[in-house]
Amino acid sequence: MPEAPPTDEGWFVLHDFRTVDWDAWRAAPEHERDRAVGEGVEYLRTHENVEDADEGASAVFSVLGHKADLLVVHFRPTLDDLSRAERQFERTSLANFTEQTSSYVSVTEISGYVSQDYFEDEDADVDEGLRRYMEGKLHPEIPDDQYVSFYPMSKRRGETHNWYDLPFDDRAEMMSEHGDTGREFAGKIKQVIASSVGFDDHEWGVTLFADDPTDIKDIVYEMRFDEASSKYGEFGEFYVGRRFPPADLGAYLAGESVPTDEGDSAHAEHGAHGSAHGHAHGDSPHGGGGHGGSAGGGSGHAHGDAPHGDSGEGDETESIRGELEDLNIYAGKPHGEDVYATVLYSEADADELFEEVEGLRGNFEHYGTHVKTAVYTANERDRSAVVSIWETQSAAETAAGFLSELPGIVSRAGEESGFGTMGMFYTVKPDYREEFVEKFATVGELLSDIDGHQDTDLMVNTEDENDMFIASQWDAREDAMGFFRSDAFRDTVQWGRDVLADRPRHVFLA
C-alpha cells in the first residue's frame, strides 16, 4: 500500500467571492450607498486588523471578469472563526448589494514531502531555518497591494495516471522538481497552499501573490511542464484580481482605479509590516561598503518618513538624494544596482539571535535574489539589528515575515516616529578601525548637542568587525539635513574617503 505523507495544519482559510448587483447599486438612493460603503469599510477594516479573533489575516481584492467582483480572504485559527466572519459580512448593508457566487474552504498545510525529520520527532534537531519556513507556510501573511490569483486543484486518480498509487519516493521526487521550478520565482511570487480534502470540491486551494501579474502567468505555465502537473494535475477555475485597502471600497464601487493614492497610505498603516518607508544608502551587500553617513562616512542617506509607491521612489526621497549629491556627500555611486534591506531591531542576547538568524540565512541563500543577512550589535548599548538585503523589495518583505518572529524584536527600521536615517553601510580598512570608532564617538558627542537629534548608533557586524552601519533618528527631516550641510559633516566625509575600503551602493529600506 502506498505511503501517505504526514501533514501539519495551520490556519483555516475562506475565499469569499462576491458579485455586485450593479443595477441595484445605481438605483439606490445616495444615503443607502453611503451607509453600505461605511459599513463595508468598517467590516473590512476590523477584519483586516483581526479584531474578531486572536490571530490571522484578512484582505479584500477586486476581481476581473464575470465570475466575481470582490474577493475577501480570511485566515483564522478555527473554522468557527471563519463562519463568524462570513456571517458578520451578511449583517452589513453592503451585503444587500452583493451575492456570494462562489467560495472555497481550506486549511494551510505542509507535508512530509518537504522534510520527514520535521514530522518524525518534534524534538528532532530540525534546522531552525526550515522550522521557520514551515511556520510561515502554516501562518502566512498577505502581501500588501499585490495581484492575486486563486485556483483549486487536485491530483489525478485516473486509470492511466493515479497519483495515489505511486510509491512515496516517486511522489517526493516529483514534488521536489516541482519545488525547484517554484524557487526560480523566489522574490517574485508568494504562494499559499491550503488543503481542502474533505472541506471542498478539490484537494487544495492555491493562492499566488505577485507585484507583476505576468509572473503569475509564467509560474503557472512553467509548472505545467513538471511531471507532477503534466501527468497528475487537475485544475478548477482561476480567479485574478488586485488587493486594495478597505478605505478604497467607495472608490472601487464608483468605478475608480484602486488602490488609490490615498488608499495606499491608509493601507500602509495596517499592513503586516508597514510599507516601504523611504530609502537608505549603503554598502555593497557582499561586505563592500559605502561611506558612512553620520559619523565618518562618505555616503549620505535618504530615509523619508512617508511611504512610497510600488517603485520604491518618492518625490521627497528624490529631492533628498539630489540635495545630498549636490553637497558632494556621495563618495561613490549613489544610483544604480539598487537592492532592498529589511532591518529589525532586537533586544535579545546577540549570540542567541545570531544562532537563529544563521538557520534562516541558510535557507535564504538558496534563493538567487538573496544578497546578505547578518546580525549587527550596537557599539555602545544593548541593542542588535538583523539586516537582510535582497535584490527585490518583495523578497525583502517576504524575508521580513520570517525575521519578525526572531526573539526580542522591538521595532523595524522605517516605522519609528520622526525621521530616520538607516543604511549607511561601509567597510573600514582594518588598520583604521579603532580610529574610525573613536571618530564616531567624537561626532556622536557633537550630535548629542544638536537640536532635533534623538539618538545615533554605530552597529557592528558580529562576524566582521570592519563591516558597520550607522542608524540615526531625528525629530524631522530638516534637522538631519541641517547636520548634513554642516562643515563638521563635510570634514567627516572627506576623512572617511581615506579610511573606508569600498564605495557606496544605494540600498532601499524595504
Nearest-angstrom CA–CA distance, 282 and 291: 7
| Pair 361, 462: CB distance under 8 Å | no
Cα three-residue angle 33-34-40, rounded to 5 degrees:
85
Q: Which of 104, 151, 232, 376 is catalytic?
A: 151
Distances (CA, A) of 144 to 150, 219, 286: 16, 20, 29
| Pair 470, 295: CB distance under 8 Å | yes
Nearest-angstrom CA–CA distance, 437 and 167: 61
Give the H/E segment covering residue 347.
none
Alpha helix locations (H) across 384-486? Answer: 393-403, 433-448, 477-484
Look-up of cell digits 521580513: 400
Can 345 be counted among the known catalytic residues? no
- Please choose, from the candidates 102, 212, 87, 97, the residue with its C-alpha nearest in 3D space to the C-alpha of residue 150: 102
DSSP code at position 188 = T
Cell of 79: 473554522
Nearest-angstrom CA–CA distance, 80 and 71: 20
User: How many other C-beta atoms lie within 10 A of the C-beta of residue 250?
Assistant: 18
Give the H/E segment covering residue 204.
strand 204-210
Cell of 386: 538583523
User: What is the set of active-site residues?
Assistant: 151
